[in-house]
Structure 1
Amino acid sequence: IHPGYIWTPQTENYLRDLGTLEQEKAKALSRHPIGFLGEPNDIAYMVLYLASDESKFVTGSEMVVDGGYLAV
């Protein structure tokens, strides 16, 4: 699982260290075509999917959960 920006206290502190939190968050948001930053549950749901029977035929995949960040 390859997560993108996930809104956590660590991400908030990182963005704050770069400059004004509001400006840095706006920059990060502008790089996400989906229009928002991920939350820890977004990663947890991918883990849940992979642990479920619904993924029984999934093998050797890289799951990118990044709101389209790498697509830009």
Structure 2
Amino acid sequence: MEKALAVFAARTMKAAENLAAAGQEAAPATPDALAVMAQMERLVGRLEERMAGLTAEWFGSCAESSGAMAP
């Protein structure tokens, strides 16, 4: 599961970077492009927070099942 989360996060981040780069190339100074870039930054931030939460939950469930402490 950890590998699947890492692959998902990497692919999602790459897609977000590609969209941001495309937005900068298409119209770097327009208000619409800036709004889209700001929205992408917020979405990526929320994704990072969620991925961190899922990872913590996964480590927590592994620790509970093995009786060890989570890292």
Higher relative CO (Cα under 8 Å, sequence separation at least 6) belongs to 1
Q: Is the helix fraction higher in 1 or 2?
A: 2
User: Fold-level match, TM-score > 0.5?
Assistant: no
The structure whose Rg is larger is 2
Q: Is the strand fraction higher in 1 or 2?
A: 1
TM-score, normalised via structure 2 length: 0.32
TM-score, normalised via structure 1 length: 0.31
